[in-house]
Structure 1
Amino acid sequence: MAHLAYDRGTITINIKVPHAKWDSRSNCYRALALYYRDIVEYLKNSGIKFQDEVLNLISCPELKCDIRLRDYQEKALYSWIKAGKLGSIVLPTGAGKTFVAIKAIAMVNAPSIIIVPTLELLNQWKSKLEEEFGVEIGVYGGGKHELRAITVATYDSAYLRAEELGNKFLLAIFDEVHHLPAPGYSAIAEFFASPYRLGLTATYEREDGLHFELQRLIGGKVFEVGINELSGKHLAEYELRIIHTELTPEEKIEYERNYKAYLSYIREKKIDLQELIMRSGRDKKAREALLARHRARTIALNSEAKLLALKRILEHHRGERIIIFTEHNSLVYRISRRFLIPFITHKTKRDERQRNLENFKKGIYNAIVTSKVLDEGIDVPEASIGVILSGSGSTREYRQRLGRILRKKDNKKAILYEIVSKRTTEVGTLKRRHMPVWKKISKRKKV
């Protein structure tokens, strides 16, 4: 008879099975816990009798919730069930991924762990789960190590404790699942024996291509619906307004001088940006070229004309909720000082961040300015106007920012402004982030 056991993120077995390799030190075959489900299915299909001592599930009360899903959420959950309770669901920001996951937990009705990228998300999940299930929720993160039938953990804590937690849960849910294939974090999925796995994200693809690893780690993409399909009925209708601004004569001279210095070097050496970055550590001229590119980009991102355009937008939408997004903290602070708008950056202390968001929610503040902090993982109060003063070519960043203004409220149309410096690299960046995904783009409008 075959015998299966769990040992620090691996499955040990006394006979040869798929995915297992002989471990001479332990005198048994060993496989990553990831393959527990596959091994059990192989043994059953082969008619091999076996003793299974892998899972050591936490005692679990009956898990019930009264959430009623929308039609697309029902389809998402059904698609996951049909795929064997494996795989990822892709829904836009604000489309209720959390509700789908809670319904999945109730349906499985067994110990479940939710793994999230930030402490803010951990606290949001904990509150929502307590509200829906009325049970005490365990926490792994922020210095806490509390194990319960439903536990929420950060990716960092789950990674550090994967060997310990790996056989305690029947269902593992990975929020913002695009983080999972990152070096290190993939070990969480590999060391967990959980036979049921659910990934949630608004942005499945990774620029480094590692999202293809998700098929191995938790199963493939089982359901996806985009912003355009939900706009109007379940999310607010939106309009994109692109505003092109001119650099001042002084800014233009400085921009062209620096960008020319950067281009001259990479063309002379016939290298790309990645190679330039690698050379900059050992080559003084490469470092100078890289700094010249940075100076040119900073001029384009932080131009005076952009701030004048922002001033007109703020006046035009006086009294409405506005989120302003920038690439760098320096521009955040500049906008905050100039327009007396509260800010949130990665340096903002947690209490101040929560206070600013709460005041924004209550309408005490009508606008808030941020760098990348609100792109992911924070529950942002309803806003109907978004302004992007600077950003990368990442479609993920763009989707997250657009999603921040799409929560449906009083049938009000959301507006996303993008302010771009003419005849700079920003124009190409704008095209890159729009081209793959957005079809519903309005013509340019003046404000």
Structure 2
Amino acid sequence: MSMKLEYDRGTLVIRGQYAVPYSTWDDRISAFRAPAFRYRDIVEFLRRNLVDFSDYVINPPPREEFKSIPVPLREYQEEALNSWLSSGMRGVIVLPTGAGKTLIALKAMEKLGVSTLVVVPTIPLMRQWSSEIEEKLGVSTGLMGGGEKDVRFVTVATYDSAYLNAEVLGDKFMLAVFDEVHHLAAEGYSHIGEMLAAPYRLGLTATFEREDGRHFLLPMLVGGIVYSISPRELAGKHLAEYEIVRISVDLSEEEKREYKSAVEEYKRGLSSIGLEIRSPDDFRQLVKMSATSRAARDALLAWNKARRIAINSESKLKALENLLSAHKKDKVIIFTEFNDMAKEISRRYLIPLITHRTPEKERNEILQNFRDGIYTKIVTSKVLNEGIDVPDARVAIILGGTGSRREFVQRLGRVLRKRAGKRAVIYEVVSKGTKEVSISYRRRRGVNN
């Protein structure tokens, strides 16, 4: 008796007399059921065991033919693509920002010639990918996000839209490309990977690890790391040579007093609730407790106050002034942690500002003027970390950030595009005697390897 495979709202229905791996019996339909992402494993199991089966799982949109991409891959890009192909067309490629991950994915799409879903974090990235696909592969793309809901042979979706429509998208594509694949491991977004039947999967990122440790899900949902190369390995030949300069500044006497007071209040709060912060999980526990415990909430507020004092120190603005003077003719991106600091810099030094509240049209105008050299400086709070095509700059000034290595690598990538005779510089301005010092060391782990 032949087996029959079907897709049903994010799951596989397996009809027939044999039990298969990863499946459980569903009395309601008198058939076995399995997560959709196990489609490839189940098909391979049936073929290995010479079981006759009918496959009705993938129902792609109308086919479109890809044109050949005339742009050649660099040596390391070729190695990355070949590693993915030889790993069964599953896995994650880890490359620095600006090293051409998109082109590798487009070459993979060209080589396979199958229906493809590309999942990206932001609407600007969705439009950027769509433009690249239409230009290089010569096919019209469907879009899912920003009010668009059009499924085609090649579709680009935001993680939010893919999550909301995973059941509908799940049986349409043979290849799934996850840009900034670390997002896929987030608590909600992981369902996208689970509900897609796509047998071929490609993850792209500059940093595989997540602070919450959930990257352990990625080998199951996409595949393990099949290729990885660091910024330092590409510096000189393919990316700009760069140096990272740490500038330490002193808090004012008043800031020191306020910082010390806030830290002591934070420690008292932790002591009163019996919590010791030794890992990100411990801190997440504090955040959870703050919803019901006044002492935990006060401790969290004190921690935030201390952090703001260290990050928004007046001495940092003086250091910034000196750096701007030293780099008058260079293109500079200034990164802050908080909007109020970014706004103050914009007001004080008449530098265009981009935050998450900047309208898309205004943001695009600022970036275009920066690209054209009309503006040589821009300041931003986080929004340019990821998901927006940022023009080349030679200098990055980091006035505040988290301990996330990913954030640091993404900011580093904003100045790494190679330019003749130009060496990139990344300045970290850090407040002495504060938690910022250890945060700086933590986020730079592995970057200089």
Under TM normalisation by the shorter chain, which class is it? over 0.9
Aligned residue runs from structure 1 range 345-424, under 5 A: 345-424=355-434
| AA at the equivalent of 2:339 | N
| AA at the equivalent of 1:353 | R
Which residue does 1:294 correspond to in 2? 304
Which residue does 2:62 correspond to in 1? 59
Question: Is the 2:119–2:159 contact (alpha carbons within 8 Å) kept by the matching residues of 1?
Answer: yes
Which residue does 1:136 correspond to in 2? 140
Q: How far apart, in 2, do the equivalents of 1:51 and 1:289 lie? A: 60
Classify 1:335/1:132 alpha carbon distance in 2 versus 1 (closer, same or farther; 3 Å).
same
1:164 equivalent to 2:168? Answer yes
Which residue does 1:2 correspond to in 2? 3
Q: How far apart, in 2, do the equivalents of 1:234 and 1:188 lie? A: 34
Cα shift at 1:323: 0.3
Which of 77, 94, 99 is matched with 1:95 structurally? 99
CA RMSD of aligned residues (A): 1.4
Classify 1:289/1:183 alpha carbon distance in 2 versus 1 (closer, same or farther; 3 Å).
closer
Cα shift at 1:268: 5.4
Cα shift at 1:288: 2.9
Aligned residue runs from structure 1 range 274-313, under 5 A: 274=283, 275-313=285-323
Q: How far apart, in 2, do the equivalents of 1:160 and 1:351 lie? A: 27
Which of 410, 434, 448 is matched with 1:439 structurally? 448
Question: Is the 1:236–1:411 contact (alpha carbons within 8 Å) kept by the matching residues of 2?
Answer: no
CA shift digits 1:304-329 (9 cap, x unpaired): 11000000000100021000001111
Tell me, which stretches of 5 or more residues in structure 2 are unaligned?
Answer: 278-282
Cα shift at 1:438: 3.0
Question: Is the 2:63–2:115 contact (alpha carbons within 8 Å) kept by the matching residues of 1?
Answer: yes
Which of 183, 192, 212 is matched with 1:208 structurally? 212
Which residue does 2:123 correspond to in 1? 119
CA shift digits 1:106-142 (9 cap, x unpaired): 0001111111110010010011111101221111111
Q: How far apart, in 2, do the equivalents of 1:152 and 1:341 lie? A: 34
Q: How far apart, in 2, do the equivalents of 1:2 and 1:286 lie? A: 57
Cα shift at 1:48: 0.8
Classify 1:50/1:401 alpha carbon distance in 2 versus 1 (closer, same or farther; 3 Å).
same
Question: Is the 2:246–2:428 contact (alpha carbons within 8 Å) kept by the matching residues of 1?
Answer: yes
User: How many residues get paired?
Assistant: 439
Aligned residue runs from structure 1 range 246-325, under 5 A: 246-267=250-271, 269-273=273-277, 274=283, 275-325=285-335
Q: How far apart, in 2, do the equivalents of 1:235 and 1:93 lie? A: 10
Q: How far apart, in 1, do the equivalents of 2:295 and 2:45 lie? A: 59
CA shift digits 1:337-385 (9 cap, x unpaired): 1111111111111111111111111111111111111111111000000
Classify 1:401/1:362 alpha carbon distance in 2 versus 1 (closer, same or farther; 3 Å).
same
| AA at the equivalent of 2:448 | K
1:46 equivalent to 2:49? Answer yes
Match of 1:407, SS state, is coil
Q: How far apart, in 1, do the equivalents of 2:433 and 2:94 lie? A: 36
Question: Is the 1:236–1:408 contact (alpha carbons within 8 Å) kept by the matching residues of 2?
Answer: yes
Q: Which runs of 4+ in 1 moved over 6 A?
A: none
Cα shift at 1:163: 1.3
CA shift digits 1:13-45 (9 cap, x unpaired): 123111111111111111111111111111111
The percentage of aligned residue pairs carrying the same residue is: 51
| AA at the equivalent of 1:215 | P
Which residue does 1:443 correspond to in 2? none
| AA at the equivalent of 1:281 | A
Question: Is the 1:65–1:133 contact (alpha carbons within 8 Å) kept by the matching residues of 2?
Answer: yes
Question: Is the 1:342–1:356 contact (alpha carbons within 8 Å) kept by the matching residues of 2?
Answer: yes
Which residue does 1:23 correspond to in 2? 26
Q: How far apart, in 2, do the equivalents of 1:280 and 1:153 lie? A: 35
1:105 equivalent to 2:109? Answer yes
| AA at the equivalent of 1:32 | P
Which residue does 1:84 correspond to in 2? 88
CA shift digits 1:397-419 (9 cap, x unpaired): 11011111101111310000000
Which residue does 1:427 correspond to in 2? 437
Task: Tell me the TM-score normalized by structure 1.
Answer: 0.95
CA shift digits 1:127-169 (9 cap, x unpaired): 1111101221111111111122111111111111111111111
Match of 2:185, SS state, is coil
Question: Is the 1:236–1:413 contact (alpha carbons within 8 Å) kept by the matching residues of 2?
Answer: yes
Tell me, which stretches of 5 or more residues in structure 1 are unaligned?
Answer: 441-447
Q: How far apart, in 1, do the equivalents of 2:5 and 2:331 lie? A: 57
Classify 1:277/1:56 alpha carbon distance in 2 versus 1 (closer, same or farther; 3 Å).
closer
Which residue does 1:34 correspond to in 2? 37
Which residue does 1:243 correspond to in 2? 247
Aligned residue runs from structure 1 range 138-157, under 5 A: 138-157=142-161
Question: Is the 1:67–1:103 contact (alpha carbons within 8 Å) kept by the matching residues of 2?
Answer: no
Which residue does 1:194 correspond to in 2? 198
Classify 1:170/1:311 alpha carbon distance in 2 versus 1 (closer, same or farther; 3 Å).
same
Cα shift at 1:269: 4.7
Which residue does 1:217 correspond to in 2? 221
| AA at the equivalent of 1:22 | W
Classify 1:21/1:268 alpha carbon distance in 2 versus 1 (closer, same or farther; 3 Å).
closer
Q: How far apart, in 2, do the equivalents of 1:18 and 1:422 lie? A: 57
Match of 1:55, SS state, is coil
Question: Is the 2:181–2:204 contact (alpha carbons within 8 Å) kept by the matching residues of 1?
Answer: yes
Classify 1:20/1:226 alpha carbon distance in 2 versus 1 (closer, same or farther; 3 Å).
same
Question: Is the 1:341–1:369 contact (alpha carbons within 8 Å) kept by the matching residues of 2?
Answer: yes
Q: How far apart, in 2, do the equivalents of 1:345 and 1:385 lie? A: 19
Cα shift at 1:433: 1.4
Question: Is the 2:84–2:227 contact (alpha carbons within 8 Å) kept by the matching residues of 1?
Answer: yes
Question: Is the 2:272–2:295 contact (alpha carbons within 8 Å) kept by the matching residues of 1?
Answer: no
Larger mean CA deviation between 258-267 and 362-371 belongs to 258-267
Match of 2:182, SS state, is helix
| AA at the equivalent of 1:127 | S
